[in-house]
Structure 1
């Protein structure tokens, strides 16, 4: 039985986005598509999460969801731009929220501002938790090619 070889791909890491919390790249380019790993709101070189206040046991006391959204969108922009694409080249966005009931309206308003001109496909799901105490993570696909 013969196997089809994997398409040429290259792993990419941003010098501006936060360091991955596991063994994965920020993105992987396959042909003209750029697949981003999950992107959260942390900032490069920092352990603290923008807008999150933790207690002594690492449990979330309070969080500023709007601040997290802005940070996540900025991190996605860093990765996409360093890979040679632009914000408007995003074609698909999957959003993971840990509190749809309280945060969706804010997220939806900010998403509409950031994506007013490009309008990629979008899926939003609520999940129980993320690997770090964040309230939002984005998984994106972008077009990287000639315009």
Structure 2
């Protein structure tokens, strides 16, 4: 069974996709960029501020699906500049300190709306 997940606590999709799709116990979270869901505006600031907002968006979506960040099993981080890796990792470790998912970090030439980071995730949320 496939279910579309949506929450007002994360930004509305900026294109023809869902915030997340739950398929069985797996939750596939679309790439989240640093958009403040309350204002719809991009978060201004350095990579730490942008990372924090992107991860808050991921957190809101996984919680809307009935899970927590502890249920995240895989994360992909897209960075416009791999030089930001250390600062991103600092903030990332605040969100994933006890339960560390598998992760890839990739430098890309550009990201939507010119942001410095995009984060996508997969969670495993067992049913009742």
Q: TM-score range by the shorter chain?
A: over 0.9
* 1:96 aligned to which of 52, 75, 78: 78
Aligned to 1:33: 26
Aligned to 2:89: 108
- Structure 2, unmatched stretches of 5+, are none
SS at match of 2:9: coil
The alignment's TM-score, normalised by the length of structure 2, stands at: 0.94
Q: Is the 8 A contact 1:19 1:45 kept in 2?
A: no
Aligned to 1:9: 2
SS at match of 2:16: coil
Query: Whose helix fraction is larger, Structure 1's or Structure 2's?
Result: 2
Query: Deviation at 1:45?
Result: 4.7
Q: How does 1:47-58 map to 2 (within 5 A)?
A: 47-51=40-44
The alignment's TM-score, normalised by the length of structure 1, stands at: 0.82
SS at match of 2:123: strand
Question: What do you get for the CA RMSD once the two structures are aligned?
Answer: 1.4
Q: Answer with 1 or 2: which has the greater Rg.
A: 1
What is the alpha-carbon distance in structure 2 between the residues aligned to residue 75 and residue 68 of structure 1? Answer: 11
Aligned to 1:19: 12
Q: Which consecutive segments of 4 or more residues in structure 1 shift more than 3 A? A: none
Aligned length: 128
